[in-house]
Structures are given as C-alpha cells and as structure tokens.
Amino acid sequence: MIGDKKRSIFLFLFLSGMILLIIPLSININQIPMPGNLVRLSTQSTEGAQADLKFADDGKNSLLYNGLVPGDIILLGTAGSFFDYLIPGEFSHTEIFAGFVQPGEQIWDRDQHCWMPVGTPYVIHSTKSDNAGNGLGYSTWLEGVNEHAEIAVAIRVAGLTNAQRQQAVDWCKSKLDGGLDGYPVGPVYDWGWTSKQIDGTNSLSGVDGWYCSELAWAAYKDLFGIDLDPDGDNWSWETAYGVSPSDLYEDSDTYVVETSDWDPNDCYYVKINLVGVYYEIDSDPWPKGAGEMYMKWYVGDGYGGSGYVTEDFYGIVKRDGAGYIYWKKTMAYVLIPKTHPLKINTQAWEDDSWPDSDDQLSPFNWWANSMLDFANNGWWWWNYWDAGNCRYCIEFCVSSNPIGVSPNGI
C-alpha cells in the first residue's frame, strides 16, 4: 500500500434475495468482467484449514462441546437482560473451554463449591457473583454455559494448532491466585471495561485482574501476538479502548465452530475475502484526508443471532491519484444454514478529516437465492467488478468442510 492518499472502505455482507448472472469459467488475471459476472477461480484449498471445528444473566441453551477443542472461546448472551443493555453487542459474557477434568487433576467448581469429577467438561472465566465468587475460576460446562444464557456461540482463533490453543488455556490457568486447581477463586474481576491490558493493573479501575473478554484477548495476544480486538489500540464508540465479547466474535482472526441455535451439520462454511479495490478517482488529494482509515462489514440473515458478524479494521492507507490497494482481508468466515440465501454488499469510502465529509464510492452488490450452486465447488471471484468510480476484487468459497487459504493467499 504505497503512495500518498488515505482511503477507507465500508464492507457489509448479509443473507438475502435474488440471483444475478453467474459464469463458471476460468479467467485471465488481466481480464475485467462487466458488473455481475462471477467466475470460478479454482478448486477449494484446504491448506491451513482447521481440522475441527452471572454476566450473561439467566437463560438456557443447548450448545454442545462435541467438536470443540481446549482454547475455543464461548460467547454468551440473553436478550433484554441488564448486562445485554450495559455491554455493547449481542454477547455479554466470555468463557474459554478448558477441556475435561483428567485423572489425578483437581478442578474447583466455583458454583457448586466442590471438586469436579473426572471427565467433567469445564470452562475458565472471570466473573463476579455472591455464589461463584469474585474473579477468575472454573465452572462446569452445564453450569457455566448451558444454564448461563439463552444465546451461546463457540468461536475459534484461526491459524493455530490445537496444541497452541491449549497453551491459551494453560496461560489462563497460570494466572489463578489459588494455583491450577482454581481454589480459591481469583484474581478479582476487573471492572475497567473501557480499558485493557495483558498483565498488571488496569489504569482505569486500579484492579490487577481481567474482565471476561479481556482474559481471552490477553491470552492470545500475549502468546501469539494475535489481537482479537478489531479496534486494535484505537478508540471506539462502543468500548473506548476496551474489548467486548462481541469484539471477539467480530474479529477476522476468529470463526464460528458451534452455535446453540444451528446444527453445524445443517450449515456450510462460508469464507469471503476482499482481495483489493482499484480506486478510479481521487476526490481529496493527500494530505487533506486525515485521521483513521477503517473497514466495516457484517454477514448474517439480518436478524442477528449466530449468523451475524460485524467488523472494524483500523489503519492508514495513503495514495495520491487513482490506484489499487491490496486489502487482502477475510471479511467473513462463518457457519451459515444451508437453506439460507447469500448476499455480499461492500462499499469503498475515502475518509476525510473534519470538517470535510467522507466521500462514498459506488457499492458492490450481489446476491443469490441459494448457496447450493456454489457449495463444494471451489473458489469463486470477481476480478474485477466495475462499479464505475472503483473496481472490486472479491472472492468467496462455500464448503461442507473448514476452508483453507485461497489461491490469492488469504
């Protein structure tokens, strides 16, 4: 990304409506189809694919731990609850799946105040209540997940081995005040939701501990340098400098592996990548444009729930005059019911500093009634979709199995 002009792009993806012209044929990299021409890029790559896939308030769900691995992140929420209004996004609590109690291992059940039997599935999380105690500790899967909220989704951090995900669990366990067995509960819960730190005292709350989503963020950030906050170190209206459960869900480094309202066997994996955008115009030459550059998108059926993803990406991209920016970003990697239609809608922007308004470019807009025509049939792309004042290069894959790296390396 070179040159001297800053650009922005808003990206929106969701499920809906009709079908446009589809042409499954090979394409030359220099060919620019007219708008609406979708072509098959290649067969599906599985390289890099993953092999398997009282703050939420009252409520129950049927989320299963089958198919999960230690280190997977559990997101919980109950619509209309106190914390649903207080915490931004659909989810209000975060837990980390820790696996099963092993022979000779002692794991303290913070809710029932006893040692868990061997073979019990359990989670580690930071919360606070009169019964469960204050801070970091263990809950059984039944108590901590199924009997904790109406909505439950399991997500996985992409690009890691299961052994590395286990390291995230071990990292969390190493922070327990009472040692690996989790007795007593602690360190205490951190109320500084608008700030975050990997270790040490929260400058806002003065607490040396973690809130629920901060714990998961800190583990993967400290161990692997993976930032699960799509806002990064930037300020946002929703969380200031903190990281919410919904941030973890929305981050491009995570993908859904299990939901409480969809059976994974009835879903397809859908991966959608923005390869790049060619900007035909330069509305406000650099350095007039200033401030943050960001991308935003969502995927879902328009009703929220487990099929809804929104994401922000912050940075600065400069370019003077017309030119191409290789974004190379995964816009969505999710499970979507096989019966749902598919819609992709994106829009590029130029982001200008106050008092100048941002410049909107023409949107990319495509939809299909069914994903069946594309399922298990490799990668599809537009190279390019000509929108007049910009051209979009977008690729997607629909598969019954986890999806790996695309032919464009995304």
Domains of the chain: 8-47+263-399 (2.60.40.150), 73-259 (3.90.1720.10)
The three-class DSSP label of residue 167 is: helix
- Whether residue 101 is predicted with pLDDT greater than 60 in this model: the reply is yes
Which residue is it, tokens 């809804």? 308
What's the one-letter identity of residue 306? S
Q: Do the beta carbons of residue 28 and residue 380 sit within 8 Å?
A: no
| Residue environment code for 117-141, b if the CB has 16+ CB neighbours within 10 A, otherwise e | eeebbbbbbbbbeeebbbbbbbbbb
Q: 319 versus 268: which is more confidently predicted?
A: 268
- pLDDT mean over 96-106: 96
pTM above 0.85, yes or no: no
Are the C-beta atoms of residues 27 and 383 closer than 8 Å to each other? yes
| 135 in Cβ contact with 128 (< 8 Å) | yes
* Residue in 108, 105, 104 with CA at minimum distance from that of residue 123: 108
pLDDT in tens, 306-339: 333 444 444 456 656 677 888 888 877 777 778 7
Residue 234 pLDDT class (50, 70, 90 cuts)? low
pLDDT tier for residue 58 given thresholds of 50, 70 and 90: low
Averaged pLDDT for residues 255-275: 81
- Place 353 in a pLDDT band, splitting at 50, 70 and 90: low
**pLDDT tens digit string along 68-97?**
999 999 999 865 443 333 344 468 899 999
pLDDT at 136: 95
Give the type of residue at 348. A
Task: Tell me if 123 sits within 8 A of 97, measured CB to CB.
Answer: yes
Q: Tell me how far apart the alpha carbons of residues 48 and 70 are, in angstroms, rounded to a whole number.
A: 19
Biggest CA-to-CA distance, the chain: 67
Q: Please compute the mean of the pLDDT values over residues 229-252 and round it to a whole number.
A: 74
Nearest to 276 by CA among 325, 320, 323, 319: 325
Q: CA torsion sign, 178 to 181 to 182 to 187? A: positive
Question: DSSP H helical segments within 272-323, as ranges?
Answer: none
Mean of pLDDT over the chain: 75
